[in-house]
Structure 1
Amino acid sequence: MHDSQHTADYSHPSVCIQQSLHGSCAQTDDVVHMSSFIHSEPCKHGAKCPDIDNKEHARRFEHPSFCPSGGTCQDTSDTHEKEYRHLPLCTHGHRCLDFKKGNQAHCNSFRHYMPACQHGQDCVGFHNKDHMSNYKHSFPTPCPWTPYNCRLHNELTQTSNTGKVSQVTHQHCVDYAHVCPFGRNCNDPNSWHREKLIHVARMPCKFGDGCNRLNQEDHLNSFTHPKIRDIRIACKHADKCHEGQDRNHISRYRHSMTFKDSGVAGYFN
């Protein structure tokens, strides 16, 4: 079909008009139609094809049509991005004044959406207002008291019988995101847990089980260790605790935590 000499020597069925005009054919299940008209082979890269605007490539392979949501499309999932072509992104993104004013001519030419945070569920910037307003996250609005000072989340995660936990506590933990106390060592298979909790990936201690600083609060608050929570349970005796040098005790409980220390350690891959 793409060889001029070949097409001059042999006759071929007509090219599918629908596919030529719209980029795809809605009659692919119709045996008669498929045998009567020529259809391009679907491009394996879909709408993400780097050669999608190459005329020669476009003649050989079928590519998806444009997204029906036009400039207002907010779906940035890989599946959707491959399934549909999209308008070029406006340089001002979701903050664009013309977009907010509903300028139809502008919105018909450019796409506007809030980009997804590259760290996803592992984002450490959940208390950064500018970051949260400029990037989309899959977890709910973060609790302002997470990771150390949310009484309700502590109540839910530190009980052996969640059935006795109040409805108010359960509702709060569903409505707001909290930092998972196990961080990168979390092995909870529950999809609800992955959806609602933030998993900050602290840097692992290079000494692992052989670490000799397990009785040091600042070290335990900064590095991940095997079988030790990143967010340890608060000791009820706080700085008056007489077991402050007991490695087993301090690896389970934290002490002398003040509000200014209640952030999170930096993010590492």
Structure 2
Amino acid sequence: MAVSGAGAPAEPVMDLAPQRGPGRITAALRDIGAGLALWRLGLALGWLDIKLRYRGSILGPLWLTISTAVMVGAMGVLYATLFHMDLHKFLPFLSLSLVLWGFIGGVVNDAPTVFTQAAPLVMSIRMPLFVHVLRMVVRNVLVLLHNVIVIVVVFALYGTRPHETLTIAPVLALWLLDAGAIALLFGTLGARFRDIGPIVASLMQIFFFVTPIIWPPEMIFVGRQYMLLNPFFPVLEILRGPLLGESVRASIWLAAGVHSVVLWALALGLFCRMRARIAYWI
């Protein structure tokens, strides 16, 4: 056990002792709480990942912004022509959708390796596993912030103004919570089964085309209600709608809440049961 500065024994940072019943839940929740308390460490590690990824590059992470801007410009003109849509309305929609999906895709694709990539730290330093979840979320948030520049420029050029701005902050908090749940769920599965990463990557390619990202949701006239079963559409729409100055239906808010509750229930259930084995799997 670790010893505090006052000389009194402190609770271990990460307890890997086999536990059953409520002890598993308590240990997992203690891990998450201790990880949140070390948020500065997670922030520093996430920032370090970005620096190492672009070490030696002249523009650094700005390459992400440039590539996103080129993609938005090329796809915007192409699909506006194919779909016979007004470019002034479609380009802000496309730029926002691609940037938000970039964050979602980055989180989901990074989640299966969140613990395996941190194996040297896990095996050498006694710290909460949730710190590595924070590290991954911070890394993708930093990438998102670089790409937000594209949204700001496009919105300014076409005069798009957000609507219902009071809902944006709670939705962003929900996005961060869901990102943590995704990391816990797929990170735990990915530590045990290394096939989870390729499976998730393949599924995300399918979801990219079946989710309204490069095409507006109003293009679906029959069976639009079934889009609520897509776990990405409601969460995407409750943020995209207000930013585009559009109102969001109550059913979409309800679906986003249900998907988030189910996601966290699965993530916590699996993490509580398998947390003590992760260090041995990786």
Normalising by the residue count of structure 2, what TM-score does the alignment of the two structures yield? 0.23
Q: Which has more strand, going by share of residues?
A: 1
Whose radius of gyration is greater, 1 or 2? 1
Structure with bigger helix share is 2
Greater relative contact order (Cα < 8 A, sep 6+): 2
Normalised by the length of structure 1, the TM-score is 0.24
